[in-house]
Chain A
Amino acid sequence: MFWYVIRRLVFAAFLVFAVSSASLIVARLAPGDYAVGAMGLNATPEAMRELRARLGLDRPIAEQYVDWLSRAVRFDFGRSLANGRPVIELIAESAANTAILAATALFLATLIGLPLGVFSGSKPRGVVPAAVRTASLFLLSMPPLLTSLFLVFFAARTGWFPIAGMSSIGGGFLDLLQHMVVPVGALTLPLIAMFERLQSQATSEVIDQPFVIATLARGVPRTRVLWRDALKAALRPIASVYGLVVGTLLSGSFAVEVITAWPGLGRLMLDALRARDVYLVAGCAAAASVFLAAGTLFSDLALVLVDPRASE
């Protein structure tokens, strides 16, 4: 178990290193650079050269990369070219915003989707389970891009919820919650459907197993068997999918952030890419891969806890 965790950690560190390096180099190799975008079309070549020299963009790629790397191991990821603030500060802010969205969505989806799945999986017949299944299939066909468009449309039409940004000026906690309804809803709805379907299938497979029938035969109430014994045995698919869900949440929250103007990591990276803000791009990619690596690690551990055979 110990070595298993160590191995996963090394892999995660390598992942973060590779992703951030690659994106720095990619962003640097891309045609056009920050100076061109920042100074506009009527800049003189001298002014442009001067700006590049000041920002260190005129050095060869290899030198720039080695320099960046030697500072990155000391957790200094450089400064944003656009506004001079340290990259790590900008990223910490927006990563926290993305994490708020993703964590709330994951929590809500587990809280709602899991019980629904146990419910619909344990009852093959009936109107309500069938309705749950149909609703899931419906929502499953709506990735966050679509749910956020439809929810924003709904919110704009009814005026019930704010549709853009994270807070109004001078707004408190309640204001934040109101602003979260649309983006969190957009991320959560497809996830609920996914969890419901997975848990439903797992449950319906488990309740036919001999140990469940044996427990029932000994007179343990059906509800208790279902929600204690069968649920425990049916957690495996969900546990193993959690890590991938972090990935889908990241991609999904990108679309949601762009549409609902939520100031998260996705928006930051998009703006950085457009401005060719190379250090910021590398930082964003690194942050995204930290999220993912943490997610996979977390889900692998959860899987080992649920099913010890998985650490083999």
Chain B
Amino acid sequence: MSARRAGGAILVFTALATLGASVLAPHSIDARFAGLLNAPPTAIHVRDDAGNWRAPFIYPWKRVSQLEQQYEADRSAPIPLMWLTAGHLAQSSDDARAPLLLLGADSFGRDVFSRLLFGARLSLGLSLLAAVGALLIGGLAGGIAGYLGGTVDDAMMRASDFVLVLPAMYVALALRSMMPLQLPARTVFLLLTGIFAIIGSPFITRGVRAIVRTERTLDYAAAARSLGAGHVRVLTRHLLPATRGFMVVELTLLLPAFIVAEATLSYVGLGFPDTMASWGTMLQDASSISAFADFPWLLSPAAAMFIVVFALNLTLQRGSRGLHYERPM
């Protein structure tokens, strides 16, 4: 039980950090610090070399080797932090020369921490929307199939079986490549949401159908019907609410799959354009192996993904019944 609480707490924390990105992030997603390409994270100190306690401050990075992009802290010039100024929670007081880089800088000299927070909006928002879409499609299709039965049921189950056994990642790739490679971010967002929702829906369709089929024969459904409720009313007001528990579990299963799918597509350059910050496009920056061996902070989106998925798994621990561990992507 405590594990579920911990998972829930992480999720709430993530949601708050995502929503509050514009306040929590010290920089915008495209602010570049030309002299600080691949600079390591700046540690926040509260004690200086002389051993005196002081307000939180950072040391600016001094480049020692331009070729190997190595940096050294300039310990002679501590820079105090500024709190709650210009709409940001914390910022360096000399932002142009010594910015606050909590998770270092990427190869363009952009602040990884800020991009991580803003990227969460895109990655998590897309996954959430796609998962809700999949639930809607699956709920509707499964509800109709289970309620009507007969030929409609057969046809819809065949169709969902078919989508179920499609090679999901390959389908997403093929569908995505139907569009031009460079697309505005908004179009990519809608396109990916749609593709994911359709690919994710057959699991829901099957589950909802099974539940509706059994619920349909129960007394309360018969009672509703004999009281004169129409088909639509019986289905939407009486039968579909019975699938609520199933839907919640499915939501927590689809989310990780979609987060990873977005990251994979963006990583190979078929997702968001690289001017946008999403966890996938950030990983793309780390896609050259020599880069992230030397600059491990470029992997922080991967770590963030792990934390979110882990939290989802923690909250799910008791609710899952066996089969539902892996999703298509």
A-binding residues in B (CB < 8 A): 161-162, 165-171, 173-175, 177-181, 256, 260, 263-264, 267-268, 270, 283, 286-287, 289-290, 292-293, 296, 299, 302, 305-306, 309-310, 312-314, 317, 321-323, 325-329
B174 touches A149 (CB 8 A): no
Nearest A-chain residue to B170, judged by Cβ: A288
> Cβ of A247 < 8 Å from any Cβ of B?
yes
Q: Which B residues touch A19, using CB under 8 A?
A: 166-167, 171
Q: Which A residues touch B167, using CB under 8 A?
A: 19, 247, 250-251, 285, 288-289, 291-292
**Bitwise interface map of A from 77 to 116 toward B, beta carbon under 8 Å scored 1, else 0:** 0000000000000000000000000000000000000000
Given contacts A247-B168, A274-B181, A285-B174, 16 further A-B contacts (CB under 8 A): A15-B166, A19-B166, A31-B179, A31-B180, A145-B264, A150-B299, A152-B289, A153-B296, A153-B299, A156-B289, A241-B323, A243-B165, A273-B173, A273-B270, A284-B170, A292-B165
How distant is the Cα of A245 from the Cα of B168 in the complex, in angstroms?
A: 12
Q: Which residues of A in the span 4-18 have a Cβ within 8 Å of any Cβ on B?
A: 11, 15, 18
The 4 A-B residue pairs with the shortest CB-CB distance, nearest first, are A156-B293, A251-B169, A141-B310, A288-B167
Q: Which B residues touch A201, using CB under 8 A?
A: 321-322
Q: Which B residues touch A237, using CB under 8 A?
A: 322-323
Q: Main SS of chain B's interface residues?
A: helix
A15 touches B310 (CB 8 A): no
Could you give 19 example pairs across A and B, Cβ below 8 Å? Answer: A19-B167, A31-B180, A32-B180, A137-B313, A140-B313, A146-B260, A149-B292, A153-B296, A153-B299, A163-B289, A164-B289, A237-B323, A247-B328, A248-B329, A254-B170, A259-B287, A273-B270, A281-B177, A292-B166
A153 touches B173 (CB 8 A): no
B174 touches A146 (CB 8 A): no
Which residue of A18, A29, A202, A269 is within 8 Å of B173 (Cβ)?
A: A269
Which residue of B180, B293, B312 is within 8 Å of A153 (Cβ)?
A: B293
Q: Which B residues touch A230, using CB under 8 A?
A: none
A23 touches B283 (CB 8 A): no
How distant is the Cα of A248 from the Cα of B302 in the complex, in angstroms?
A: 19
How distant is the Cα of A32 from the Cα of B180 in the complex, in angstroms?
A: 8
A248 touches B313 (CB 8 A): no
How distant is the Cα of A258 from the Cα of B310 in the complex, in angstroms?
A: 24
Given contacts A15-B162, A145-B267, A254-B169, contact A248 B328 (CB under 8 A): yes
Q: Which B residues touch A280, using CB under 8 A?
A: none
Nearest B-chain residue to A12, judged by Cβ: B165
**Count of residues in A whose CB is under 8 Å from the partner chain:** 61
How distant is the Cα of A245 from the Cα of B306 in the complex, in angstroms?
A: 21
Q: Which A residues touch B328, using CB under 8 A?
A: 244, 247-248, 251
**Bitwise interface map of A from 187 to 208 toward B, beta carbon under 8 Å scored 1, else 0:** 0000000100110011000000
